[in-house]
Amino acid sequence: MLKVQSVRFNRHELKTRFPFRYGIASMTEVPHLFVKVEIDFAGKRSTGMSADLLPPKWFTKNPESDYETEDLPEMLNVIAHAAKCAMEIDSVPSFFEWWQQLYASQNSWAKEQGIAPLLANFGVSLIERAVIDAVCRATELTLHQLLISNRLEIDLAAIRPELQGLSPRDIVADEPSKTIQLRHTIGMGDPLTDSEILDDDRVDDGLPHSLVAALRCYGLSSFKIKLSGNREQDRERLLAIASILQDELRGPFQFTMDGNENYRDINHFRDDYEFHLSDSRLSTFFQQGLLFVEQPLHRDWSLNEDVQAALQNWTDAPPMIIDESDADLSSLPTALRLGYSGASHKNCKGITKGLLNAATIHKAKLEGRCAILSGEDLANLGPVALLQDLTMAACLGIEHVERNGHHYFAGLSIFPRQLQEQSLRNHADLFHQIESGLIAVHPQAGHLEIDSLLKSPFGMLEHPDLSLLTEWSQNAIDDDSA
């Protein structure tokens, strides 16, 4: 039996090392929210935790709304409502039954309130992750052990009948890899070389700033390139990136491109893509390493029926996946039917949903389709969110993940020193202390070592001491959201 007894929040304000430009947003300051739950599970009281950034203009993409007075209060209200729903659910026989009730209650409310499903389900995922962590601790199982034994009692076919006969054991990696390749984000405003950095913008914290510096420091060979939707600017930047990668890297490399919802329809994106291919240097670059294109169309029309004909008519199109459009439980099946190749996994979109999507991709591959479940990032940071996201990605068998939190934030220095040292002590494979004294993620030969995460309940060996951070009650969140 499962019952959520309490949900508590702590909030910590963060500043980036330098602006992170993605889509229509440029992030320099952002709140980080921690969630702590207490549950009763199988007769035991257990505590679990999750965390995430509350970033501007990702869960909703309204250029007219103000982040501080509209977007952020809406996010907090959504999270508070998910917590309220979670505690109102009576004791139920299984995690899966609890999750179904939470998902249904939250989405019914969100529909009445006109709240976008991607945002509504972010609230679900934060509570879900904390509860799963608590279940891991109550059962003394790692996440992998929990999933492969299906102690969560997840019934995939109850959500997607076409998955009849599949269970989590069929889709979770038999033995998760102890290393995972880092796919480095090249943001739209990121300097490519040190010479591009203005004196006033230079960062002196011991971490690399430019692409070239990151290449040399981290041994990178996998990348994600952000597109602006301006074909001339994108061509110039792609050529500059291609030149750097070809000159700096002795071995093979791979990359994805993020359309950032910049294109009005498939034909618009096709025109720009073929414009880039008309340059032989970019044609060679794409042949060398392009894996797929992520979310070229705006979320509001990327799953429209006219997409199907446009993709069918583009016989040599690159594989395309959805990210922001993967907003609810029907999104990926719809995308595959229209001709997309898959979707991204991010913990902020949900663990149960991630399992469902992995099963759908597994089934599509068995049917002979090119099907992709990628690992993308939302500036994931330790001491909680990054560790849980990497653990889930490894359990799903995802071999490379976009990571950018370690690049846009100054390691763990944005948190109290005690939390930093605890992370280093417990996870010395993922973190290290650099010469400047900063405790930061430790990419080695372009990979992250995550063995200690896989041996922990859900990524974390110990919970951070949240008494070091500002506590928020649900009433405080509701007051701020009013």
Domains of the chain, first to last: 2-140+469-481 (3.30.390.10), 168-467 (3.20.20.120)
Q: Tell me the per-residue pLDDT of 408-419, one tens digit each, with 9 for 90 and over.
A: 999 999 999 999
Question: For residue 250, what pLDDT is reported?
Answer: 87
- Rounded to an integer, the average pLDDT of 115-139 is 98
Residue 476: band (very low, low, confident or very high) from pLDDT cuts 50, 70, 90? very low
Q: Tell me the per-residue pLDDT of 113-123, one tens digit each, with 9 for 90 and over.
A: 999 999 999 99
Question: For residue 195, what pLDDT is reported?
Answer: 96
CA distance 200 to 244: 24
As a dihedral over the C-alpha atoms of residue 185, residue 187, residue 193, residue 199, rounded to 10 degrees, the angle is -130
Whole-number percent of the chain with pLDDT over 70: 98
- Matching residue, tokens 């981290």: 218
- Rounded to an integer, the average pLDDT of 368-380 is 95
Q: Tell me the per-residue pLDDT of 356-367, one tens digit each, with 9 for 90 and over.
A: 999 999 999 999
CA distance 268 to 263: 6
**Cα–chain center distance at 301:** 22
Question: For residue 63, what pLDDT is reported?
Answer: 86
CA distance 301 to 318: 19
Q: How many helices (H) and strands (E) does the chain have?
A: 18, 15
The bridge status of strand 25-41 relative to strand 447-449 is: unpaired
Question: For residue 473, what pLDDT is reported?
Answer: 73
- Three-state DSSP at 30 gives strand
Alpha-carbon Rg for the chain in angstroms = 21
* Of 25 and 198, the one with more pLDDT: 198
Tokens representing 131 are 């509860």
Question: For residue 482, what pLDDT is reported?
Answer: 36
CA distance 442 to 427: 11
DSSP string across 399-413:
-EEEE-HHHHTTTTT
Contact in structure between 106 and 81 (CB atoms under 8 Å): yes
Contact in structure between 36 and 130 (CB atoms under 8 Å): yes
Does residue 25 surpass a pLDDT of 80? no
DSSP state of 71: I
Percent helix / strand / coil, the chain, rounded to 5: 45, 20, 35
- Matching residue, tokens 């948190």: 415
Q: Tell me the per-residue pLDDT of 329-352, one tens digit each, with 9 for 90 and over.
A: 999 999 999 999 999 999 999 999
How many other CB atoms sit within 10 Å of the CB of residue 139? 18
Contact in structure between 2 and 37 (CB atoms under 8 Å): no
Name the residue type at position 243. Answer: S
Q: Tell me the per-residue pLDDT of 102-116, one tens digit each, with 9 for 90 and over.
A: 999 999 999 999 999
DSSP state of 251: S
Q: Tell me the per-residue pLDDT of 27-45, one tens digit each, with 9 for 90 and over.
A: 889 999 999 999 999 999 9
Task: Find the DSSP H helices in 261-384.
Answer: 266-277, 280-289, 306-313, 331-338, 351-366
Q: Tell me the per-residue pLDDT of 141-176, one tens digit each, with 9 for 90 and over.
A: 999 999 999 999 999 999 999 999 999 999 999 999
How many other CB atoms sit within 10 Å of the CB of residue 329? 18
Question: For residue 200, what pLDDT is reported?
Answer: 85
Contact in structure between 341 and 372 (CB atoms under 8 Å): yes
Q: How far is CA 458 from CA 137, 146, 386, 390, in A?
A: 8, 10, 11, 10
Contact in structure between 410 and 20 (CB atoms under 8 Å): no
Does residue 310 surpass a pLDDT of 90? yes
Sign of CA dihedral 188, 189, 190, 192: positive
Does residue 480 surpass a pLDDT of 90? no
Q: Mean pLDDT of all residues in the chain? A: 96
Q: Which residues are 441's β-sheet partners?
A: 431
Q: Give the predicted TM-score (pTM) of the model.
A: 0.96
Question: For residue 475, what pLDDT is reported?
Answer: 56
Question: For residue 28, what pLDDT is reported?
Answer: 87
Question: For residue 181, what pLDDT is reported?
Answer: 99
- Rounded to an integer, the average pLDDT of 45-61 is 94
Q: Tell me the per-residue pLDDT of 267-293, one tens digit each, with 9 for 90 and over.
A: 999 999 999 999 999 999 999 999 999
Question: For residue 479, what pLDDT is reported?
Answer: 41
